[in-house]
Amino acid sequence: MPILSPADIPDIEEARRRLLDLIRERSVRRGRFRLSSGRAATAYVDLRRVTTHPEAAFLCALLLIDLMRGFRPDAAGGPTLGADPLAGSLGVMSHILGVPLRTFIVRSDAKEHGTGRLVEGSLEPGDRTLVLDDVATSGASLLRAAEAVVSEGATVVGVLAILDREAGAAQAVAAKGIPFRSLFTMSEVMEGPIPGAT
């Protein structure tokens, strides 16, 4: 049973506009940056400044749940560190909305103590899963996470990101036969006013 009524949930388009404003305000930095893919960039979007912000985390989870429609997932999660706050807020939001979704995190390397697991959390064999991350660049970390999920006996039905940097991730994921969706593209984020930009 949902904890919030539909009247308590913002309109999806309104939520999307507000999250985009928060990304532009809190996350966009200009300068010289090296991305996780090794490529150089003149703009960097640090989405952890959004996914760990109370209002923005709420909006990310709400919009991801909307983006998931049609996938019918049992669980969702992705590579640490980008997916960590998303998994937490997504699990809570799914419970609030009455569409419970288990979540998990994929470690960079299996731990050498305890259970030695690579995938931590509530992933079960046979699950239909979505792999997610805050930013998709080359897609390499998303595909590694997908392989780890499959090795646990689950099925990856899609890959979701808050931001597609438009640097090859969508194509790399599609080449593996996995649907890819993002809330925003880098072009979309950068086409609006960036507070503090020179």
Long-range pairs for 122-125: beta carbons < 8 A, 24 or more residues apart: 122/75, 123/75, 123/77, 123/149, 123/152, 123/154, 124/74, 124/75, 124/153, 124/154, 125/152, 125/153, 125/154
pLDDT tens for the 198 residues of the chain, in order: 556 666 778 899 999 999 999 999 999 998 899 877 788 888 889 999 999 999 999 999 999 999 999 999 999 999 999 999 999 999 999 999 889 999 999 998 866 655 668 999 999 999 999 999 999 999 999 999 999 999 999 999 999 999 999 999 999 999 999 999 999 999 999 986 666 543
Q: Which domains does the chain have, with CATH numbers?
A: 47-186 (3.40.50.2020)
What CA–CA distance (Å, rounded) separates 5 from 11? 13
